Amino acid sequence: MSRVTNTPEWQKLKEYSNNLPHMRELFATDSARFNKMSLKACGLFLDYSKNRVNEAVLSALFGLAQQAQLPARIKAMFAGDIINTTEKRAVLHTALRAPKGAVVEVDGVNVVPEVHATLDKIESFVASITSGEWRGYTGKAITDIVSIGIGGSFLGPKIATQALRPYWTGKLNCHFVANVDATSLVEKLKLVDPETTLFLMSSKSFGTQETLTNTLSARDWFLQSGATQADVAKHFAAVTSNVAKATEFGIDEANIFPMWDWVGGRYSLWSAIGLPIALMVGMDNYRALLAGAREMDEHFTSAPLAENMPVIMGMLSVWYGNFFNAQSHVVLTYDHYLRGLPAYFQQLDMESNGKSVMLEGETVDFSTGPVIWGGEGTNGQHAYHQLLHQGTALIPADFIMPLQSHNPLGEHHAQLASNCFGQTQALMQGRTFEEALAELASSKLAEEEKTLIARHKVMDGNKPSNTLLMDKLTPATLGALIALYEHRTFVQGVIWDINSFDQWGVELGKTLGNDVLARLGADKAATELDSSSNALINLFRQGHI
C-alpha cells in the first residue's frame, strides 16, 4: 500500500464513509449546518453544507492534508521550487499575478520585473491597437483579432474573453482558431478582412503542429490578398517562450511577447497568452482579472486549511473520488457568460491530475483525477441532470451563479436562481417512496399502479453539491474563480502525490500523430503498424471507403 492510504486519517475516512447519516438527517439535526459549512473569500461565497460530511469527516480530511504536508507543498510552489520534477521546472503561474514589488526567484533571478515589463509591453500594444494608431498594410486601423493557438494557448483566453463580454470595449472583434481542421480557420477567415486583421499566434513551444499549420495557412491567405512579405510585421504577432523560433518563422521581434518555461500551458492565461483578453476588455479590466487571482493566491497561502476555499473544495473531491468511488465531477454554471468554464476546468483538471504514477515512480493504488464535465444551467436540467438525480453513478456537482445579472430582465434572474437552488435541494433531499406515493394520492390510478409509479419516482437524494456565488461576474471575481479551481486541482495532486504539471500522455499522442502523417503522405501503403492502424491509413490514402 502506498503512503497516503496508510495514514490513520485515510483509515478513519474509510470508516466514516460507511457510517454517515443521510444529508437530510444531517440538516435536520443541526440548524447551524449552513453557517458552519459556508465561507466567503475574494468576492466568492461557498456553501458546502450539501456534502456528505460532518465535523469528524472534515477534520479527518484536513488531517489528511496535513499528513500530505499540503502547507509546505503550497509554499514550495509559490517559492519557485522545482515541483514539476519530471520536466525539472518551477510552477509559477502565481508569479504572473504577483504585485510589482514582489520577489519570486527562479535560479536566483527575481522573475517579477520581467513579468511586469511584459505586462507593460502588452499595455502599450493594446493601446496602440485599440486607439487605431497601429495601422495595417493599407493604412487602415485593426478591427479584428484572429487568435491562433490550442490547448492552454487557446481555451483560457477564449473562455475569459467570452465570460467578460459585458466589459468589451467595443473596439475590436476577436476570433479563435484552434483545431487543425481547415474548416475552423476557413470559416473564421470568411468573417475578416486581411487589411484590418491582426493574427496573434500563441504557442509556448512554437512547435505545436496545429498552431504552426494554421498560422502558415493564415499567412498564405494574407499574402494572397495582395500584401507583401514586408507587410507581415503589421499583421502578425506571437506569444511564445521560444522567441528564436518565432523570429525564424518571420515574426518581427518587436511583435513577440515572451512567456517562460515555468508557466504551464493550462495555467498560462495570466501570461501574455491572455493578450486577446486584454485587447477585448482593455488593460484595466485585464489587470483586475490578475488582481482577483492574486487575491485568491493570498487566501490560499494564508488561510488555515479548514477555512481555505481551494483546500475545502480539493479535499471534498478527494473524499468522493477515493471513498465513494465517484469517477466524475460536474461543473454547472448558472450564467450564460460562464458557459465555457466547464470545458476550461476540464482541461485544467484532467490534464493536471489524469496521472497514475506518484512522484517517486510508484503506481497509484487509488483513484486520481475524475472526469470533469458540465455545462450551462438551466439547459442541463432538461438533459443530463436526470442521471445526476436518479442514475447509478455518484457525481458531485458544483453550481456557480452570480447573484446579480448583467442583463436584469423581468423575472429571468429569479427563475434562474430558483432552478439553481432547487436543483441542489433536490439532489440533497431526494424523494422517498412515501413522499412519491403521497404525491399520487389524488390520481385516478389503481393502487398497484400507484405503487409502481411511486417506485420510479423515488430519488435517493444524498447527492453532494457545492454552491459558489458572487455578487456579480466581474474581471476580479472571474480571476478569483479560475485561481480557485487551479488551486483546488493542486490540492488534490498533493494528496495523491502526483505531478500535476506534466502531460506525457498528450506528448505521446503528438509523436504518434507525426509518424502517421508521414505514412499518410508516403508513396507506399502502410504495412508496418497494427492491422487497424494500417487499414485506416490506407483508407485515407484511397480517399473513400
Q: Closer CB to ligand G6P, residue 65 or residue 246?
A: 246
Element (H, E) at 439: helix 433-439
Catalytic residue among 88, 100, 382, 524: 382
Q: Closer CB to ligand G6P, residue 150 or residue 484?
A: 150
Rounded-to-integer distance, Cα 264 and Cα 77, Å: 13
Assess 276 for contact with ligand G6P (CB under 6 A).
no
Q: Count of alpha carbons within 13 Å of 209, Cβ hemisphere only?
A: 13
Q: In the complex, what is the shortest distance from the CB of residue 257 to ligand G6P, in angstroms, rounded to a whole number?
A: 13
The residue within the footprint of ligand G6P, chosen from 231, 399, 503, 519 (CB under 6 A), is 503
List the helix and strand counts (H, then E) for the chain.
23, 13
Q: In the complex, what is the shortest distance from the CB of residue 209 to ligand G6P, in angstroms, rounded to a whole number?
A: 9
The residue within the footprint of ligand G6P, chosen from 43, 80, 136, 151 (CB under 6 A), is 151
CA distances from 509 to 3, 513, 516 (A): 31, 6, 10
Strands of the 465-470 sheet, one edge to the other: 38-41, 44-47, 465-470, 397-402, 328-333, 371-376
Sign of CA dihedral 128, 132, 136, 137: negative
Q: In the complex, what is the shortest distance from the CB of residue 360 to ligand G6P, in angstroms, rounded to a whole number?
A: 23
CB 76 within 8 A of CB 68: no
Q: Closer CB to ligand G6P, residue 151 or residue 479?
A: 151
Q: Closer CB to ligand G6P, residue 65 or residue 150?
A: 150
Long-range CB contacts for residues 34-40, cutoff 8 Å, separation at least 24: 39/307, 39/309, 39/312
C-alpha cell at 69: 504536508
Q: Closer CB to ligand G6P, residue 121 or residue 245?
A: 245
Q: In the complex, what is the shortest distance from the CB of residue 268 to ligand G6P, in angstroms, rounded to a whole number?
A: 7
Closest CA to 291 of 480, 21, 72: 480
Q: Which stretch binds ligand G6P (CB under 6 A): 91-99, 147-155, 378-386, 514-522?
A: 147-155
Torsion of CA 389, 52, 501, 362, to 10 degrees: -110
Rounded-to-integer distance, Cα 18 and Cα 323, Å: 9
Q: Which stretch binds ligand G6P (CB under 6 A): 81-89, 110-118, 149-157, 321-329?
A: 149-157
Q: In the complex, what is the shortest distance from the CB of residue 278 to ligand G6P, in angstroms, rounded to a whole number?
A: 18
Longest dimension (CA), the chain: 84
Angle at which helices 70-79 and 55-67 cross, to 10° = 50
Catalytic residue among 9, 195, 295, 351: 351
Catalytic residue among 14, 40, 75, 510: 510
Is 351 one of the annotated active-site residues of the chain? Answer: yes
Torsion of CA 100, 101, 103, 104, to 10 degrees: -20
The residue within the footprint of ligand G6P, chosen from 266, 355, 488, 519 (CB under 6 A), is 266
Q: In the complex, what is the shortest distance from the CB of residue 217 to ligand G6P, in angstroms, rounded to a whole number?
A: 16
In the window 338-357, what residues touch ligand G6P (CB under 6 A)? 351
Sign of CA dihedral 478, 483, 486, 491: negative
Rounded-to-integer distance, Cα 357 and Cα 85, Å: 13
Is 195 one of the annotated active-site residues of the chain? Answer: no
Q: Closer CB to ligand G6P, residue 156 or residue 464?
A: 156
Assess 150 for contact with ligand G6P (CB under 6 A).
yes
Q: In the complex, what is the shortest distance from the CB of residue 153 to ligand G6P, in angstroms, rounded to a whole number?
A: 4
DSSP string of 465-498?
EEEEEESS--HHHHHHHHHHHHHHHHHHHHHHTB
Binding mask of the shown chain, residues 181 to 220, with x at each position contacting ligand G6P by CB under 6 A: ----------------------xxx--x--x---------
Number of Cβ atoms within 10 Å of the Cβ of 224 = 9
Rounded-to-integer distance, Cα 203 and Cα 205, Å: 5
Assess 271 for contact with ligand G6P (CB under 6 A).
no
Q: Closer CB to ligand G6P, residue 167 or residue 249?
A: 249
Q: In the complex, what is the shortest distance from the CB of residue 264 to ligand G6P, in angstroms, rounded to a whole number?
A: 7
Assess 96 for contact with ligand G6P (CB under 6 A).
no
Number of Cβ atoms within 10 Å of the Cβ of 153 = 28
CB 124 within 8 A of CB 240: no
Number of chain residues interacting with ligand G6P (CB under 6 A): 14
Is 544 one of the annotated active-site residues of the chain? Answer: no
Q: In the complex, what is the shortest distance from the CB of residue 260 to ligand G6P, in angstroms, rounded to a whole number?
A: 12
Q: Closer CB to ligand G6P, residue 130 or residue 503?
A: 503
First to last CA, the chain: 50
CB 397 within 8 A of CB 427: yes
Binding mask of the shown chain, residues 9 to 48, with x at each position contacting ligand G6P by CB under 6 A: ----------------------------------------
Q: Which stretch binds ligand G6P (CB under 6 A): 102-110, 123-131, 144-152, 281-289?
A: 144-152
Q: Closer CB to ligand G6P, residue 52 or residue 266?
A: 266
Assess 265 for contact with ligand G6P (CB under 6 A).
yes
Assess 153 for contact with ligand G6P (CB under 6 A).
yes
Can you give the binding site for ligand G6P, defined by CB under 6 A?
150-153, 203-205, 208, 211, 265-266, 351, 503, 506
**Residues marked as catalytic:** 351, 382, 510
